[in-house]
Structure 1
Amino acid sequence: DEWFKYKDVKSRKHRVYHYVTFLRNPVHRFLSEWQHVQRGATWKATRLHCNGRDASLEEVPFCFSGVDWSGVLISEFLSCKYNLAFNRMTRMLANLTKVNCYNHTGLSQHQVKEVLLKSAKENLLECSFFGILEEQKKTQFLFENTMGIKFIENFRQKEKTHASRLEVSDEVLNEVVQKNRLDIELYQYAKDLFLQRVAYVEKRMGYTVDEYFSRVRDAGESSSGGDVNVDVYEEEYDEEDVEDIMNLYPSNRVGFDVVVRRDDDDDAFR
Structure 2
Amino acid sequence: MLRNPIKRYLSEWNHVKNGAQWIDKFNNRKCLYKNYLKCFKGQKTWNASLDDFMSCEYNLANNRQTLLLSDSNYDCSNKTGEEMLEEAKRNLESLSFFGLTEYHDLNRKLFLKIFGGSFRFLKEFKTANQTVADNFYKLLKTKGVDITEENSDKILKKIQQLNSLDIQLYEFAKDLFFKRLKFYNIL
**TM-score normalized with structure 1 length:** 0.59
Aligned counterparts of 1:27 and 1:86: Cα–Cα separation in 2: 10
Q: Structure 1 residue 163 and structure 2 residue 133: aligned?
A: yes
- Choose the corresponding residue for 1:67, options 37, 44, 52: 44
The higher-RCO structure (CA 8 Å, 6+ apart) is 2
Match of 1:102 among 68, 75, 85: 75
RMSD value over aligned CA atoms?
A: 1.8
Q: Partners of 1:60 and 1:33 in 2: how far apart?
A: 14
Which deviations, in whole Å up to 9, do the C-alpha atoms of 1:95-153 show, x marking residues without a partner?
Answer: 143xxx3241xx6xxx6101000000111122221001001111100001111123222
Identity %: 36
**Which of the two has higher C-alpha Rg?**
1
Counterpart of 1:178 in structure 2 is 161
Structure 1 residue identity aligned to 2:131:
T
CA distance in 2, matches of 1:83, 1:59: 8
Match of 2:174 among 174, 184, 191: 191
Structure 1 segments, 4+ long, off by >6 Å, are none
Choose the corresponding residue for 1:151, options 121, 130, 133.
Answer: 121
Alignment of 1:142 onto 2:110: yes
Secondary structure of the corresponding residue to residue 184 of structure 2:
helix
Q: d(CA) in 1 for partners of 2:34 and 2:103?
A: 40
Q: Choose between structure 1 and 2: higher strand proportion.
A: 1
- How far, CA to CA, are the matches of 1:123 and 1:43 in structure 2? 24
Q: TM-score, normalised by structure 2?
A: 0.84
* CA shift for structure 1 position 173: 0.8
> What residue number does 2:58 align with?
82
Q: Distance in 2 between matches of 1:46 and 1:62?
A: 16
Check the 8 A contact 1:96/1:116 in 2, yes or no. Answer: no
